[in-house]
Amino acid sequence: MTERTSPYPLGLRLAGRRVVVVGGGAVATRRVPALLDAGADVFLVAPELTPALRSHVDAGRLHWARRRFAADDLDGAWLVQVAVDDPVAAASVSAAAAERRVFCVRADDRAAATAWTPAVTRSGPVTVAVLGGGDPHRAMTVRDAIRELLGARPSPTRTTTVDEGAAAVAPGAGRVALVGAGPGDPELITVKGWRLLTEADVVVADRLVPGLLLDELRPDVELVDASKIPYGPSRAQEEINRILVDRALAGKVVVRLKGGDPYVFGRGGEELLACAEACVPVTVVPGVTSAIAVPAAAGVPVTHRAVAHEFTVVSGHVAPDSPDSLVRWEHLAGLRGTLVILMGLKNLPAIAATLVAHGRPAATPAVVVQEGTTGAQRALRSTLGEVAHDVAATGLRPPAIVVIGDVVSALTPDG
CB of 302 to ligand SAH, least distance (A): 13
Strand pairing category for 365-370 and 400-404:
antiparallel
**How far, in Å, CA of 97 to CA of 363, rounded?**
58
> Is residue 24 near ligand SAH by the rule CB under 6 A?
no
> Is residue 290 near ligand SAH by the rule CB under 6 A?
yes
Contacts (CB under 6 A) with ligand SAH, residues 298-357: 342-343
Q: How many Cα atoms occupy the beta-carbon half-sphere of 310 within 13 Å?
A: 8
Residue 256 or 258: the one with the smaller Cβ distance to ligand SAH is: 258
- Please tell me which residue in 58, 108, 185, 228 is annotated as part of the active site: 228
Residue 138 or 378: the one with the smaller Cβ distance to ligand SAH is: 378
47-55, 231-239, 276-284, 368-376 -> range binding ligand SAH (CB under 6 A): 368-376
206 is catalytic: yes
**How far, in Å, CA of 266 to CA of 111, rounded?**
43
> Is residue 64 near ligand SAH by the rule CB under 6 A?
no
Among 295, 365, 399, 405, binds ligand SAH (CB under 6 A): 399
How far, CA to CA in Å, does 202 sit from each of 4, 50, 125, 182, 409? 35, 17, 29, 19, 44
46-54, 162-170, 372-380, 407-415 -> range binding ligand SAH (CB under 6 A): 372-380
Among 23, 24, 174, 183, binds ligand SAH (CB under 6 A): 183
> Is residue 294 near ligand SAH by the rule CB under 6 A?
yes
> Is residue 118 near ligand SAH by the rule CB under 6 A?
no
Q: Which of 237, 270, 11 is nearest to 117 (CA)?
A: 11
Partnered with residue 42 across adjacent β-strands are 19
Residue 51 or 372: the one with the smaller Cβ distance to ligand SAH is: 372
Strand pairing category for 18-22 and 79-82:
parallel
Angle at 72 between CA 34 and CA 102, to 5 degrees: 50
How far, CA to CA in Å, does 188 sit from each of 34, 96, 286? 17, 41, 12
**How far, in Å, CA of 44 to CA of 53, rounded?**
9
Residue 104 or 314: the one with the smaller Cβ distance to ligand SAH is: 314
Residue 100 or 317: the one with the smaller Cβ distance to ligand SAH is: 317
**How far, in Å, CA of 127 to CA of 137, rounded?**
19
> Residues in the site for ligand SAH, rule: CB under 6 A?
183-184, 208, 258-261, 264-266, 289-291, 294, 342-343, 369-374, 398-401
Residues forming the active site: 206, 228
